[in-house]
Structure 1
Amino acid sequence: MDRETWKKSPLTRKEKVHTQIFANAAQASRLIAEEIAALIRDKADKKQKAVLGLATGSSPLGVYKELIRMHKEEGLSFQNVITFNLDEYYPMQPTSLQSYVRFMKENLFDEIDIPPDNVHIPDGTLPRDKVAEFCAEYERLITDAGGLDLQILGIGRTGHIGFNEPGSPLDSSTRLVTLDYVTRTDAASDFFGQENVPRKAITMGIGAIMKSKRCILMAWGENKARIVQKAIEGELSEQVPATYLQQHPNTLYVLEESASTELSRVQRPWCFVPIDWTSQTTTKKAVIWLAKKLGKAVLKLTDRDYMDNGMSDLILDQDSAYNINIRVFKLLQRTITGWPGGKPNVDDTHRPERKDPAQKRVLIFSPHPDDDVISMGGTFQRLVDQGHEVYTAYQTSGNIAVFDDDVMRFADFVADIRQQEEEKTNGHDTLYHRVVKSIRSKQPGDIDSDEVLNVKALIRKSEARAACRYVGVPDERIHFLNLPFYETGTVKKRPPGEQDFQIVCDLIQQIQPHQIYAAGDLSDPHGTHRVCLQVIFESIDRLKQSGALNQDDCWVWLYRGAWQEYPMDEIDMAVPLSPDEVTGKRRAIFKHQSQKDTALFPGADPREFWQRAEARNAQLAQDYDELGLPEYAAMEAFKRYHY
């Protein structure tokens, strides 16, 4: 939707800044890269410099990847480009893993032909008394270059742009700032623990950003949806610095669908434009929205309720509230089943799963070695108890998410039971001593040695086996895939490659499952779930194209992880759990002792994973109850993926 169409559309009237929504981040990143490339070429034709403001973090990675491709395959030159990065942690050495200098070199500058003297990044090595002078000079350099032609931005969960945290004034300049608690929590995974995240950073100010001729802000993932809505539709507020962009004359927000879900045009389009109510999905979404808004059960909604809330045309199109309510109530009711593998010897016309075959081969993919029991532990147990042949496949080792203390504890154990190795080597070169030496010489954020990584992987593997045995899955049905994209020893991973796809394809062909379960959430703070899902989708597509997988024979169900639940209108199967099953799920999660108490990468939620899972499952049950459905202790939700 171009700017003029966006301005005129009644669907977007709540939005205060031009916004485009794309199906996925890759599509959106290409659009941004194409605009940057067009700017660079136009400036080159005019013998001028293109001055770019650049961002770091996961959001612009796709843009940088596409620019590199354009440089290598289309001859896009960066000889006439001058860049200014938004920010840098302070203090920070440029060679550190978390340095934005290193980030930009590895993800863009080392792969293109930009002159090194044209690159500007805040200096995290300066003495404290030199920072203010540097910041003033940084802004002078931007001015001398002619000002920023284009500034690309991400958005933090506090609404910050750059490191301009809540409370930053509109006219703020480049400066040293103190990072917000939420920002430091979000960065904890990059630093292997929040205690290692710097408390300060140097950031380009709001005032400098607002002077740029063009701003593009990008946001991906469900975890950004709420703050994106505030930034686009909310009132101007220094508590959400991104709202300042509402006053910029040439700003574009670029979102993938998952980051747009809280926008009014997505949540309730019927309030703004006429809707095609022949869609059962749209009607279901609208009725659930109305019931939640009014705090009513679905069957209690009246004609007046519909008419007072912008849904009178639904009444006109589809008869009375009474009949609409019954239809939607039945749709919700049919999602609930205590038989996730299908109930034998029944009419399955309106059930979420097929009744045949009565005993199915079930393959549960788990991105990390605990996501299966955290996300669908109750359903997992139910599938085993109901006689299905259940297999688990742990896509990654999860080795970076283990504390060094746990490695020491297990190394102590190994040392105690293998004293003979100690004797053979005179106690100087055992696994124990090598591990201890490696950990004691390690600085925060350093990459682990291969031996330490291996011990961490073994810890996660033994915990996963313990959880599977508790549920009732024999060892021969437990698969550890160790997908190569993950095995870097750092938070940053490689893109998925041919070997990753082949491993998953081979396993699916070996098991020939009737059901596949996979993590479908995109809010994972360090992105592993997103990549694991991409690998599964690509593998399924390949097998479908080759004729080795058929949607009629194998159904794919997506579950959500520790961060967020599916919206009720998207749920295709809801499995109720009794209080005893909730307790059983908790015990299975507890088998993952290295993730108990405090996980290394907890994300923004300080609660333990089992607490988050129980709260989310209880909330879903309450949501069904409030809509007038049966009351359960907890529920796990799934969405069917049609391939």
Structure 2
Amino acid sequence: MLSQAEIEKIPTRVFQTSEEASVFVANEIASLIKAKQAEGKPCVLGLATGSTPTRVYSELIALHKKGLSFKNVITFNLDEYYPMLPNSLQSYVRFMNEHLFNELDIPKDNIHIPDGTLPKEKVAEFCKNYDAQIEALGGIDLQILGVGRTGHIGFNEPGSSERTTTRMITLDQVTRIDAASDFYGEENVPSKAVTMGVGTIMKSKRIIMMAWGEGKSAIVKKAVEGPITDQIPSTFLQRHPNTLVILDEAASSNLTAVKTPWLVDTCVWDDKLIRKAIVWLCQQVKKPILKLTNHDYMEHGMGDILNEFGTAYQVNIKVFNQLQHTITGWPGGKPNADDSHRPERATPFPKRVIIFSPHPDDDVISMGGTFIRLVDQGHEVHVAYQTSGNIAVFDDDAIRFADFVRDFDVSFGLDKEEGEEFYKKVVKDIKEKKPGDVDSPEVMKIKGLIRRGEAKAGCRYTGIPDSQAHFLDMPFYETGAVKKKPLGEEDIQIIVDLIEKIKPHQIYAAGDLSDPHGTHRVCLAAIFQAVDRLKNKEWIKDCYLWLYRGAWQEWDIDQIEMAVPLSPDELMRKRRAIFKHQSQKDSAVFPGNDKREFWVRAEDRNHATAQGYNELGLAEYEAMEAFVRYKF
């Protein structure tokens, strides 16, 4: 048995949430700044951009407002797209000013960011001087890093040498795909960037690499536990004498010590961990649960379970029954039935249900089969669409609908001139818009109405009336850009008001924290805060909150607390409900790194969940939707 220190080749610290982790990193930076101030020396920081450090920067601003001065701080940013004007929406100069520098007392001359406006022939000289400035200051005291899906640090893509210095590079295709949403299309993402080299980064006196969310868990494992290779530049950090990796629980989920802790150390075995271990063991030996033997346990470092709980047969039966009891065809509870081993209560029946959908199609993509079952089984189902989803509509669709309005006015003898003028304005606004620009209010409204109409069509198909479809238009989302505002009091109060109005017995919410744009995460935070405010109300004590996953990822089988099986016919009904969202069909504006259509992803995921249950020796179904209960 290897120790955790032997497996993890970079010291790693895991926090429950990215918020807690960000506070820790901000305090580390603040402590360094204060120490340097006490010595009368400058504090040289290497800074990163992207979504990972934004909360750190917010915390630093808060500390500044409490008295922390940044006058002795000198900063060097990792990278910048090339070419890139500093006032462009995607510029890292603009990013740093908006997220940090504009709120601090740091002298402007102390801020250094790679220049995306230089003539190409002057870039090499600039890069040489960039490194020289860092060296003249005695090096970077603390370098902050995120990590890309390819394992890049800065823009050091796969193939970057450990000795590389600041330079212009060509961006990897995966990196450009990941940046596509910020640029409103992969075709608008610059093909090049200027970045600090791996060698420049490795000269830093101390490095903190941060990663949040399940989407980063696979690359984190490779960076921390894998062999050093230039194909994953972050693995070079294993050779740095003073690097710390800071993770939230989701980003740490693939680390050996988290995923299979029994292989690292002695465990305290509870039902949850036993179930996780048994599912893992089945996958390793390719056997169903009831065929596992004592030998299988012993050969895979799980003998302690047998020592504590008896024979393999006894443990197998217990876990098999636990998983069997997660399966139900009655997601709202089966009336007049013994519910002692069911995930949902038999009473009350029927139930009032709210399905919270971050975007106008998450309800049917993520839990369309369960949605339909709840309606078919007689429950009062409401759907709350938390955001308009207006940025995820193609310009062509907006023009098509404006054209429809114009022709509609002509056909029915309405005000033809107004319709014509409106159409011309929409076309003009779209034609004059540059990539990444925010839509005009009229275009944003059209796109929002397109998504709203599709959501209504989906609801009608599932069988609920328009009055039970609620469009919340949470203010944090309505910026017209990929970048959103922070979650605010008004957002939370909207959720509180709806829950209080309906007084549901069940709430379904998107627990998919792999959403690359962060909307799911913010929407879930709003629900959690709303429920926390209401938890002392007598009626909410009889409410269950179920979390589903979206188009990006599914719950692991050992985590699932309710699995709703779908027949082939039910899966087809779900597909047809998804098809009502025509603006997201064929090719979505923001498909993420998966080129499959959303309905294909959903069905593949549902098939895989059912197959996973089948391989464990449980009943074989066509497909399954999975849920985890959040207890408040």
Secondary structure of the residue that 1:550 maps to in structure 2?
A: helix
Show CA shifts across 1:298-345 (max 9, x none).
000000000111111110100100010000000010001100000111
Cα distance in 1, alignment partners of residues 343 and 615 from structure 2: 22
What runs of 5+ residues in structure 1 fail to find an aligned partner?
1-7
Show CA shifts across 1:225-276 (max 9, x none).
0000000000001111100000000000000000011000011111221112
The match for 2:8 is 15
Q: Which of 224, 228, 231 is residue 220 of structure 2 equivalent to? A: 228
Task: Decide which moves more: 391-400 or 263-272.
Answer: 263-272
Cα distance in 2, alignment partners of residues 117 and 250 from structure 1: 29
Cα distance in 1, alignment partners of residues 263 and 155 from structure 2: 36
Question: Aligned in 2, Cα 1:474/1:131: closer, same or farther, shift over 3 Å?
Answer: same
Question: How many Å apart are 1:426 and its aligned residue?
Answer: 4.7
Q: Do structure 1's residue 635 and structure 2's residue 624 form an aligned pair?
A: yes
The match for 2:540 is 550
The match for 1:118 is 110
Secondary structure of the residue that 1:342 maps to in structure 2?
A: coil
Secondary structure of the residue that 1:249 maps to in structure 2?
A: coil
The match for 1:399 is 390
Secondary structure of the residue that 1:430 maps to in structure 2?
A: helix
Cα distance in 1, alignment partners of residues 279 and 218 from structure 2: 19
Whichever residue aligns with residue 124 of structure 2, its letter is A
Question: Residues 22-33 of structure 1: matches in 2 within 5 Å?
Answer: 22-33=15-26
Cα distance in 2, alignment partners of residues 201 and 326 from structure 1: 57
The match for 2:171 is 179
Q: Which of 332, 345, 356 is residue 336 of structure 2 equivalent to? A: 345
* 8 Å CA contact 1:79, 1:114 repeated in 2: yes
Question: Residues 401-480 of structure 1: matches in 2 within 5 Å?
Answer: 401-419=392-410, 426=417, 430-480=421-471
Question: Residues 86-485 of structure 1: matches in 2 within 5 Å?
Answer: 86-277=78-269, 279-419=270-410, 426=417, 430-485=421-476
Cα distance in 1, alignment partners of residues 429 and 157 from structure 2: 37
The match for 2:42 is 49
Q: How many residues get paired? A: 632
Cα distance in 2, alignment partners of residues 13 and 381 from structure 1: 50
Cα distance in 2, alignment partners of residues 14 and 470 from structure 1: 52
Whichever residue aligns with residue 614 of structure 1, its letter is E
Question: How many Å apart are 1:558 and its aligned residue?
Answer: 0.2
* 8 Å CA contact 1:306, 1:312 repeated in 2: yes
The match for 1:594 is 583
Question: How many Å apart are 1:423 and its aligned residue?
Answer: 8.5
Question: Aligned in 2, Cα 1:142/1:463: closer, same or farther, shift over 3 Å?
Answer: same
Cα distance in 2, alignment partners of residues 422 and 65 from structure 1: 55
Question: How many Å apart are 1:429 and its aligned residue?
Answer: 6.8
* 8 Å CA contact 1:543, 1:549 repeated in 2: no
Q: Identity of aligned pairs, percent?
A: 63
* 8 Å CA contact 1:422, 1:430 repeated in 2: no
Question: Aligned in 2, Cα 1:92/1:263: closer, same or farther, shift over 3 Å?
Answer: same
The match for 1:4 is none
The match for 1:65 is 58
Show CA shifts across 1:562-602 (max 9, x none).
00001111100000111111111111111000011111111
Whichever residue aligns with residue 394 of structure 1, its letter is Y
* 8 Å CA contact 2:405, 2:419 repeated in 1: no
Cα distance in 2, alignment partners of residues 504 and 426 from structure 1: 41
Cα distance in 1, alignment partners of residues 613 and 441 from structure 2: 48
C-alpha RMSD over aligned residues: 1.4
Show CA shifts across 1:392-450 (max 9, x none).
00000000111101001111101101139999675697221111110011111111111
* 8 Å CA contact 1:65, 1:107 repeated in 2: yes
Cα distance in 1, alignment partners of residues 579 and 467 from structure 2: 22
Show CA shifts across 1:193-233 (max 9, x none).
11111111110000000000000000000000000000000
Secondary structure of the residue that 1:217 maps to in structure 2?
A: strand
Whichever residue aligns with residue 477 of structure 1, its letter is Q
Show CA shifts across 1:72-108 (max 9, x none).
1x20000000000000001111111000000000000
Question: How many Å apart are 1:12 and its aligned residue?
Answer: 3.9
Whichever residue aligns with residue 509 of structure 1, its letter is E
Cα distance in 2, alignment partners of residues 487 and 438 from structure 1: 18
Show CA shifts across 1:323-372 (max 9, x none).
10000000010001100000111110010000001210110000000000
Task: Decide which moves more: 307-316 or 62-71.
Answer: 307-316
Q: Do structure 1's residue 573 and structure 2's residue 562 form an aligned pair?
A: yes
The match for 1:564 is 553
Cα distance in 2, alignment partners of residues 638 and 489 from structure 1: 32
Question: How many Å apart are 1:549 and its aligned residue?
Answer: 5.0
Whichever residue aligns with residue 18 of structure 1, its letter is P
Query: What TM-score results when the alignment is normalised by the length of structure 1?
Result: 0.97
Question: How many Å apart are 1:10 and its aligned residue?
Answer: 2.8
Cα distance in 2, alignment partners of residues 509 and 270 from structure 1: 44
Cα distance in 2, alignment partners of residues 428 and 281 from structure 1: 61
Cα distance in 1, alignment partners of residues 177 and 215 from structure 2: 14
Cα distance in 1, alignment partners of residues 302 and 417 from structure 2: 81
Task: Decide which moves more: 424-433 or 48-57.
Answer: 424-433
Whichever residue aligns with residue 110 of structure 2, its letter is N
Cα distance in 2, alignment partners of residues 490 and 612 from structure 1: 25
Whichever residue aligns with residue 206 of structure 1, its letter is V
Cα distance in 1, alignment partners of residues 56 and 314 from structure 2: 49
What runs of 5+ residues in structure 2 fail to find an aligned partner?
none
Cα distance in 2, alignment partners of residues 145 and 457 from structure 1: 51
* 8 Å CA contact 2:41, 2:72 repeated in 1: yes
Whichever residue aligns with residue 630 of structure 2, its letter is Y
Secondary structure of the residue that 2:535 maps to in structure 1?
A: helix
The match for 1:5 is none
Whichever residue aligns with residue 589 of structure 1, its letter is I
Cα distance in 2, alignment partners of residues 537 and 522 from structure 1: 14
The match for 1:3 is none
Question: How many Å apart are 1:11 and its aligned residue?
Answer: 3.5
Runs of 4+ with deviation above 6 angstroms = 420-423
